Chain A
Amino acid sequence: MELFTNQILAGISTGAIYACMALAVVMIYQAIDHLNFAQGEMAMFSTFVSWQLMQWGVPYWGAFVLTLVFSFAGGIAIERLLFKPLAKAPILTNVAGFIALYSIINSVAGLIWDFTIKQYPTPFGSHPFLGSQLISTHQAGMIGITLILLLLLFFFFRFTRMGLAMRAAASLPESARLVGINTSWMIALGWGMAAAIGSIAGMMIAPVVFLEPNMMLGVLIYGFAAAVLGGLTSPFGAVVGGFLVGIFENLVGTYIPGVGNELKLPIALALIITVLVVKPAGLFGRPIVKRV
């Protein structure tokens, strides 16, 4: 029983990271109707930036905040330079853009910081949380940070003018323009926010998976699985999906014999395929109906 509780809690803490990645993916998907394959690499690069800042002597939370700002600006820059010009291009052109972005960021990170594995600090320590052996302080910290982030995002989108404008621009761009919203900048803002959310995921997971240019590949695939499970049209669903996928991953790894770390990725992919076949809109997504 203790093993079970332990696995659930561990699942929730990694699930928090998947929830962040899924949320970032869904935000960009809502804005431009494409999956950002480079979301993980953007997060990895941000994490390296925060590591570099700490190497230069900036304290953890200072580096954390500076990295958020850097990621936000970087996300906007990527949208303005690469994806705004591609807005009316066919899907495959955009996919090629994402793959290019993926490999560029990955290689540049390798060039600057090389491919050796680096330790990444945690501000929470890794002691037993509240004296319990079930969960470590870092895992609890991951969950806490994610919950704060989700709460802030909820208030932003629910109760601010800017949040309302962003929702409108994502749901009906033409109507949004007709009430005077600059939809193009709302998309850029969405990219900035997605990049910042991804960077939080990167900085939180780095102490667990260690820092190196390929650290986010597995995390992103689980993020995709979470987004697909929750529904690509539903930010709320993405978050729920993240936690579910985290728990699922841990339980399967623990209780199904033969599924070790090697098979964890195929499980995420199998989950994506199963959801797409059985319920393509996901748990909370709306089926997309196009009028022709």
Chain B
Amino acid sequence: MTAMLNIKDLRAFYGQVQALHGLNFDLNEGSLTTLLGANGAGKTTTLRAICNMVRTTGAIEFEGAPLAGRSTENIVRLGIAHVPQGRGTFTTMTVEENLQLGAITRKDKAGVISDIERMYDHFPVLKQRYTQQAGTLSGGEQQMLAVARALMLRPRLMLLDEPSFGLAPLIVRDLFKILGKINREDKVTILVVEQNAQLALELADQAYVIETGRIVMAGNAKDIANNEDVRKSYLGY
């Protein structure tokens, strides 16, 4: 497998405050990787850095092309879909409009229409509510919508920021099952940031653990899940 995303010596800054202190990691094409860590470790910042939504130094390469100097919207157009923390739902628009917005950069009208149907297959609840304002959906439904919206881009790489946040455990299981399916069947490489380490490690094949802006552990998700020291010191379960 080749590295699809390659990050070298990534540092990120909010004003004078440095949030990442030289991150190095790779994502393999087709992998499902999770980035774990406590509050404030720099997980969200890492995702924002990939999409150039925060000031950074260092190098990020996507499929061999450097992302430095590209605007957020241009990075997205390369096929990187980002489901932000809080889901970023267009709450005043309908469910269907949210899906259309996910595909707004695509020119193939017929493909977009059939993809909307595919999303309704993946997430039947969205089909029931397609004319409803997205803001009226429940938290779980909004998260489904956010994932569906991201998939409408037909992304090569999908970044998810705490998809389990605020959701009931059963819904989280459903959602993670769907993520696994998308990864296997649609060949979308996924990087998911999570606080729910146990569940994320069950789902992922690769894992990185981040602490105060540095990668402190990397490896196979199963090995990390089985390593008692790591579990106790970094994952807290």
Contacts and interface: CB of A to CB of B under 8 A. Distances in A.
Q: Do A and B come from one complex?
A: yes
Interface of A: 161, 164-165, 167-168, 171-172, 174-183
A164 B100 contact: yes
Nearest to A182: B73
Given A164-B104, A168-B104, A179-B104, 11 more contacts: A161-B104, A168-B101, A172-B88, A174-B53, A174-B84, A174-B88, A177-B72, A177-B73, A178-B82, A180-B73, A181-B73
Contacts of B77: 180
B204 interface: no
Contact of B90 (A161, A171, A183): A171
Given A175-B84, A179-B102, A179-B149, A168 B90 contact: yes
Contacts of A165: 101, 104
* A interface secondary structure, majority: helix
A165 B100 CA distance: 10
Contacts of A164: 97, 100-101, 104
A136 B81 CA distance: 56
B201 to A, nearest CB: 27
Across the A-B interface, give the 4 residue pairs with the lowest CB-CB distance, nearest first: A175-B88, A180-B105, A180-B76, A177-B72
A292 to B, nearest CB: 14
A176 B97 CA distance: 12
A179 B153 contact: yes
Interface string B49-90: 001010000000000000000011100110001101000111
Candidate in A165, A174, A176, A177 with the most chain B CB atoms within 10 angstroms: A177
Contacts, number: 58
Contacts of B82: 178
B97 A178 contact: no
B104 A178 contact: no
B136 interface: no
Interface size class of B (residues with CB under 8 A): 20 to 34
B220 interface: no
A177 B84 CA distance: 11
Contacts of A177: 53, 71-73, 76
A149 B89 CA distance: 30
B104 A171 contact: no
A161 B149 CA distance: 15
Given A168-B101, A172-B88, A178 B93 contact: no
Contacts of A172: 88, 90
B101 A179 contact: yes
10 contacts: A164-B100, A164-B101, A164-B104, A165-B104, A168-B90, A171-B92, A174-B84, A177-B53, A178-B72, A181-B105
Nearest to B79: A180
A178 B92 contact: no
Contacts of A180: 73, 76-77, 104-105, 153
A175 B98 CA distance: 11
A167 B72 CA distance: 18
A179 B84 contact: no
Interface string B19-61: 0000000000000000000000000000000010100000000
A178 B84 CA distance: 9
A100 to B, nearest CB: 29
B139 to A, nearest CB: 16
A172 B88 CA distance: 8
A12 B139 CA distance: 44
A147 B93 CA distance: 24
Contacts of B73: 177, 180-183
Nearest to B77: A180
Contacts of A168: 90, 93, 101, 104
Contacts of A176: 101
A183 B72 CA distance: 10
